[in-house]
Amino acid sequence: MNRFASFITFSLGILLFTAPAFAQSEWEKTLAAARKEGTLVVGIPASVELRKALESTFPAKFKIPLELSPSRGPENANRIISEHKAGVRYFDLFISGGATPLSLVAEGAADELQPYMIAPEVRDPKNWWGGHIWEDNVSTKKYAYAFQCYTSETFWYNTSLVGKNELRSYDDLLNAKWKGRIGFLDPRNPGSGQNTWTFLWKIKGEDYLKKLAQHDLLVTQNQRQLAEALAKGKLAFTIGLSHYTYEGFLKAGLPVSPIGELKEGGQANNGSGVLTVVKNPPHPNATKVFVTWFLGKEGQELYGKAMIQGSRRFDVDTKWLTEYGIEGCKDVMTVDDYYRLETHLESSVQKLRNPAIALASKILK
């Protein structure tokens, strides 16, 4: 059974569940109002699997029309901010990763999220590994909710060119044989490339990145170009691309694979795991329904399987991620380890990412 077929089976199973276990009067009132509001609009990562999973599940379960905008996080964020400044209310919700949602917070284009969590089992921090973790953990702690954590999968290699044991440390990327054979998602722009560059800056230092930059890197924002170059053997490694970029290549049986954990350890990543409600959403009740479902067990299972990423909810299994060479944070590390290894929260952006970006702007061509 292919992944999408399994999603259909999974989705039909979801329909058998009853409404979340909390005050039914509040839920029924919210759901009734939501069905009168029209189409809910959600910005999501550019994943075909995620789009199909959400489209086959949410509208059927709640009888609420759903419009999805699959795109890179910064692209959706820039559009939301532009519309916010122009007084346009189109998007209701935004799902992305890393520090991207912080731009919405800074521009006043985000709404406080907890009022949209209308189920106690979603609001209760005891149900989440690490409690409630906010991307905006310095300035506000209420707008951008980080619902995932897993070890990073942003280092990929061509299995026809690179032996499984040829890369034991990040230092091995500096081997002369890989000069001109490494692609990097441009870290000067927001996204997973920037997040990964910051991680390397944190654990290996500036001198390492300077040496890597002298390795004739292919640096671009074109994710498709990088993924195709790896699949065709023009590159041996790519850095900064997430699993969903390679989904089609993996299905086609092409020789691409994420690199396993190296001796320095893996990055504690939230992937595309940050949920933000857009300021004054045009469909507020439908937004409450989506947030409550999405941050519940059903929604988190669906999202995690579509994106191959790990939820922080205790009741959502993430051990299956090991099949893809990654692990859920709650399965392999302490919360203290997470804060030691993450690079995406607002506190890390201020202390780590800003100087790392400055270095990238200086040394990359």
Q: Are 157 and 257 in contact (CB under 8 A)?
A: yes
The answer regarding whether domain 3-150+270-333 maps to CATH 3.40.190.10 reads yes
Q: What is the CA radius of gyration of the chain?
A: 20
Pairing of strands 274-278, 144-146: antiparallel
Q: Are 352 and 202 in contact (CB under 8 A)?
A: yes
Count the neighbouring beta carbons within 10 Å of the beta carbon of residue 348.
Answer: 21
Pairing of strands 237-239, 155-158: antiparallel
Residue for token pair 């090991």: 322
Pairing of strands 66-70, 93-96: unpaired
Q: Which two tokens stand for residue 183?
A: 């692609």
Q: What is the DSSP string of 98-161?
A: TTTTHHHHHTT-EE-SGGG--SHHHH-GGGBTTS--BSSTTTTSSSEEE-B-EE---EEEETTT
Tens place of pLDDT per residue across the chain (365 aa): 455 444 444 444 444 344 445 556 889 999 999 999 999 999 999 999 999 999 999 999 999 999 999 998 989 999 999 999 999 999 999 999 878 899 999 999 999 999 999 999 999 999 999 999 999 999 999 999 999 999 877 899 999 999 988 999 999 999 999 999 999 999 998 778 888 999 999 889 999 999 999 999 999 999 999 999 999 999 999 999 987 788 889 889 999 998 877 888 778 888 899 999 999 999 999 999 999 999 999 999 999 999 999 999 999 999 999 888 789 999 999 999 899 888 889 998 888 888 999 999 999 97
Q: Tell me how far apart the alpha carbons of residues 73 and 354 are, in angstroms, rounded to a whole number.
A: 19
Q: For 153-265+343-363, CATH number?
A: 3.40.190.10
Residues of the chain within CATH 3.40.190.10 domain(s) are 3-150+270-333, 153-265+343-363
